[in-house]
Copies of this chain bind each other. A is one copy, B any other.
Amino acid sequence: MQKADAVVIGGSAAGPVAGISCRRRYGDKSVILIRKEKRVLVPCGIPYIFGTLGSPEKNLIPDALLQNNGIELVEDEAMEVNRERKVVSLNNGNTVSYDKLIFATGSSPAVLPIPGIEKGNVFTARKDVAYLKNMLDAVNDAKDIVIIGGGFIGVEFADECKKGRNCNVTIVEMLPHCLQLALDDEFCSEAEGVLRDRGIKLLVDSKVEAILGDNQVSGVRLSGGQELKADIVIIGVGMVPNNELAKRAGLEIGPGKAIAVDRCMRTTADPDAFACGDCAEKVSFFSGKPSRLMLASIACAEAHIAGANLFHTHYQNPGAVGVFSTIIGERAFACAGLTERAARQEGYDIVLGESTAPNTHPGGMPGAVSTKVKLVFSKHNRMLLGSGISGGKSVGEIANVISACIQSKMTAYELSLFQMGTHPSLTASPIVYQLVNAAELATKAK
């Protein structure tokens, strides 16, 4: 029987961060992290194994993070939690006892109830090195690749599968647009244009009804009857929380099928058990209502809170803002906060501010990329609610500038006076800096 003041179950984004947060705040408390994986994949890096990185081994979270922060690693699967005795049972028969417990069990790819899904060469973005190695071999051998789901995962897989390969890639998306849950229509259309320019075929408003073939997949049939050839099918239609262990331990499961927690990341059922990351229920920053967002960055913020709150309460979770970014070919897309569509759905009366300018100045600097920022404000008080962005690589951190402004509840008035640093090679011109320009326009919008 091993023993620690705090035990964390889960080794991906949230687990280590929760452990580190605890160790930093409570230097005298011991932390054990239990995980079943020998090697842990960077979750957001998985699509990049298939083009940019070239192998799962290049997409690992280094264990030095744990060692450097005095966290003991136990490599085994947690099978049961006895909350009365405060003991975690492992697959090898050993047990680990705890004072405080953190569930950071993550999520798994959603499985669709499509006939034929069990066939060979049908894959998901499973966080498993050996599985992804097989998948990489299959992608390398494929001539026709069908991707089910045109969200971030699907789009990133499509773009990466094209890199350095002479294969046909088709995305099948149920909704009218790819990326529609994350971006407003005009950005979706722009992204779809980039995907098409890269030779990727898009079938939107389309549903896969069956996966065809004998043992191995040979194609898919769409609900309209159309059949597509496929040597391999990749399913990227979202993730579901890993809630089984918590459920067996008698913890409450919430409306999103994740572990129910309060604003302090404590499980609603047990003050000594916490949960964070994809396995924990979330609420929206903007409405307080349940949110289905699952992002490594949200997981890490929750993990900071959980780790810090273990022995004394320090923080409350303000709710998930939702900040995404991605890049397709050379064009980056991002959203911080609510899209225009989501803001309207939440019942906000809104005003918009939009501004497009090169990401360098003068615009003739080599490598200049036209960068578009759309800001969404509440009409009533001009508070910043969200955004859409497209441009070059700086889009990733521009989304974070906007996220900072959202989190501090800046208004269009305040943002129109924003003091940014600018440099010819690194940013837009101060005269046309998109955030400020868009905000100023929004102060006057009717």
How far apart sit A318 and B444, CA to CA, in the bound complex (Å)?
A: 21
Closest chain-B Cβ to A140's Cβ sits at a distance in Å of 19
Question: Which residue in chain B gives the minimum CB-CB distance to A417?
Answer: B301
Q: Which residues of B contact A301 (CB under 8 A)?
A: 417-419, 436
How far apart sit A407 and B407, CA to CA, in the bound complex (Å)?
A: 12
Known: A24-B440, A397-B394, A436-B300. A65 touches B419 (CB 8 A): no
Q: Which residues of B contact A60 (CB under 8 A)?
A: 362
How far apart sit A419 and B297, CA to CA, in the bound complex (Å)?
A: 6
The stretch among A84-92, A201-209, A324-332 that forms the contact with chain B is A324-332
Q: Which residues of B contact A444 (CB under 8 A)?
A: 24-25
Question: Which residue in chain B gives the minimum CB-CB distance to A25?
Answer: B444
A42-B361, A44-B424, A397-B426 are known; give 16 further A-B pairs, CB within 8 A: A25-B444, A44-B361, A44-B423, A297-B430, A300-B431, A315-B413, A317-B417, A324-B423, A325-B421, A327-B423, A327-B425, A401-B404, A403-B421, A404-B408, A404-B410, A407-B419
> Could you mark each residue 383-411 of chain A with 1 if its beta carbon is under 8 Å from any beta carbon of chain B, else 0?
00000000001111111110111011010
The stretch among A13-21, A30-38, A116-124 that forms the contact with chain B is A13-21
Q: Which residues of B contact A314 (CB under 8 A)?
A: 413
- Answer yes or no: A350 CB below 8 A from chain B CBs: no
The number of times this chain is found in the oligomer is: 2
Q: Which residues of B contact A407 (CB under 8 A)?
A: 414, 418-419
Closest chain-B Cβ to A305's Cβ sits at a distance in Å of 6
Contact across chains for A433 and B300 when beta carbons are under 8 A apart? yes
How far apart sit A44 and B423, CA to CA, in the bound complex (Å)?
A: 7
How far apart sit A52 and B360, CA to CA, in the bound complex (Å)?
A: 12
- Answer yes or no: A311 CB below 8 A from chain B CBs: no
Contact of A420 among B65, B315, B400 (CB under 8 A): B400
Q: Which residues of B contact A427 (CB under 8 A)?
A: 325, 396-397, 400
Closest chain-B Cβ to A78's Cβ sits at a distance in Å of 21
Closest chain-B Cβ to A371's Cβ sits at a distance in Å of 10
